[in-house]
């Protein structure tokens, strides 16, 4: 039954979702260079912006999921438009083409952390992990200050390039200004983002773990970390009293980095 359901879904997607190919131009402006991702929410193209003469990324919403995804599309575009931070791609425009819904945004150089960890098998030291998470946390502090909660901080949604870090994918974000859920649950939504920062940090730290990962062994036993890093993680993951302020996380990360540097 489940297989049948899956097949119907795929056929429906194939009939309804128009996918464009390399070389085609969307809305007379965006020439497709590559399909970056054929995701569940939408199709993501790397394009050449003929007007601005620069590379950009275009996200197309799946028509087969228009009902469920219209909210995410609106949320993501509204939020990208209101944010202005070097670590977040800027919205170029929203547009419709051949009855399909799109938006274009700044292209960000780099690989997402999921590909970096699993394909490139990049290993990070504890200090490097903290340096990366410090940049991510600074972006989170900025968006929280603007009343935005990301809601989906995960390794595929963070792009790294040399020293630069970008946070993408605001499809599941909450906006305090427009969203009732955010108004009522601001504190919880902030804590959820903090928890995800903790989870993200663990992923990075495990990159240089070469022991065997045993099922029921907690990270506290598998990773040998500086006590300050362990404390930060425990607070982020709400094992110890959680953080209430984003800035407090940043301060603790600074401290952990300097303690690690001193013990080098």
Ligand X SMILES: Nc1ncnc2c1ncn2[C@@H]1O[C@H](COP(=O)(O)OP(=O)(O)OP(=O)(O)O)[C@@H](O)[C@H]1O
The reply to whether 157 sits near Mg ion by the rule CB under 5 A is yes
Residue from the set 20, 89, 189, 235 that interacts with ligand X by CB under 6 A? 89
CA torsion angle 109 113 117 118 (round to 10): -90
233 CB contacts (<8 Å, ≥6 apart)?
198, 201, 202, 219, 225
The reply to whether 169 sits near Mg ion by the rule CB under 5 A is yes
Q: Which residues of 63-97 are buried (b: 16+ CB within 10 A; e: fewer)?
A: bbbeeebeebbebbbbbbeebeeebbbebbbbeeb
Q: Pick between residue 168 and residue 249 the one whose CB is nearest to ligand X.
A: 168
| Residue number, nearest CB to ligand X | 39
Residue from the set 27, 36, 141, 176 that interacts with ligand X by CB under 6 A? 36
The reply to whether 105 sits near ligand X by the rule CB under 6 A is yes
- If contact means CB under 5 to 8 A according to the sort of partner, which of ligand X, Mg ion, none does residue 105 touch? ligand X
Euclidean distance between the first and the last CA atom of the chain, given in angstroms as a whole number: 58
Token pair 């595929």: residue = 156
- If contact means CB under 5 to 8 A according to the sort of partner, which of Mg ion, ligand X, none does residue 151 touch? none
The reply to whether 37 sits near ligand X by the rule CB under 6 A is yes
Applying CB under 6 A, the site for ligand X has a residue count of 19
111 in helix, strand or coil? Answer: strand
Structure tokens at 190: 């902030």
Is residue 264 flagged as an active site residue? no
Of residues 112 through 141, those in contact with ligand X by CB under 6 A are 112
Of residues 45 through 64, those in contact with ligand X by CB under 6 A are 57
- If contact means CB under 5 to 8 A according to the sort of partner, which of Mg ion, ligand X, none does residue 171 touch? ligand X
Q: Where are the beta strands (DSSP E) in 174-232?
A: 174-175
Which of 102-110, 126-134, 155-163, 225-233 is the region at the interface with Mg ion (rule: CB under 5 A)? Answer: 155-163
Catalytic residue chosen out of the listed positions 152, 210, 252, 264: 152
Which of 11-19, 96-104, 165-173, 224-232 is the region at the interface with ligand X (rule: CB under 6 A)? Answer: 165-173
CB 166 within 8 A of CB 153: no
Q: Pick between residue 41 and residue 149 the one whose CB is nearest to ligand X.
A: 41
The reply to whether 107 sits near ligand X by the rule CB under 6 A is yes
Of residues 183 through 202, those in contact with ligand X by CB under 6 A are none
Instruction: Please state, in angstroms and rounded to a whole number, the distance separating the CA atoms of residues 245 and 51.
Output: 42
CB 156 within 8 A of CB 200: no
CA torsion angle 61 65 67 71 (round to 10): -50
Structure tokens at 225: 């970390």
127 CB contacts (<8 Å, ≥6 apart)?
257, 260, 261
The reply to whether 252 sits near Mg ion by the rule CB under 5 A is no
CA 16 to the chain's CA centroid: 27
Name the residues annotated as catalytic: 152
Binding stretches for ligand X (CB under 6 A): 36-37, 39-42, 44, 57, 89, 105-108, 112, 156-157, 168-169, 171
Residues forming contacts to Mg ion in the complex (CB under 5 A) are 157, 169
């Amino acid at each position: 039954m489940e297989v049948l359901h899956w097949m119907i879904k795929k056929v429906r997607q194939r009939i309804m979702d128009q996918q464009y190919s390399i070389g085609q131009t969307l809305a007379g402006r965006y020439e497709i260079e590559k399909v970056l991702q054929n995701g569940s929410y939408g199709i993501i193209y790397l394009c050449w912006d003929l007007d601005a003469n620069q590379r950009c990324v275009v996200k197309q919403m799946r028509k087969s999921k228009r009902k469920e995804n219209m909210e995410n599309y609106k949320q993501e575009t509204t939020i990208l438009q209101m944010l202005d931070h070097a670590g977040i791609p800027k919205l170029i425009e929203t547009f419709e083409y051949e009855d399909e819904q799109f938006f274009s945004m700044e292209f960000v150089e780099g690989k997402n952390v999921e590909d970096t960890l699993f394909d490139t098998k990049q290993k990070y030291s504890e200090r490097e992990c903290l340096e990366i998470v410090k940049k991510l946390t600074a972006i989170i502090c900025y968006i929280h200050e603007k009343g935005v909660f990301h809601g989906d901080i995960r390794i595929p949604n963070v792009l790294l390039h040399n020293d630069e870090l970008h946070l993408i994918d605001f499809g599941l974000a909450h906006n305090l200004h427009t969203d009732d859920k955010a108004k009522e649950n601001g504190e919880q939504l902030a804590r959820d983002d903090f928890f995800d920062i903790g989870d993200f940090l663990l992923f990075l730290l495990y990159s240089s773990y070469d022991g065997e990962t045993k099922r029921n062994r907690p990270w506290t036993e598998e990773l040998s970390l500086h006590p300050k890093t362990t404390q930060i993680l425990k607070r982020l993951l709400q094992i110890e009293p959680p953080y209430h302020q984003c800035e407090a996380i940043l301060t603790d990360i600074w401290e952990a980095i300097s303690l690690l540097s001193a013990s080098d």
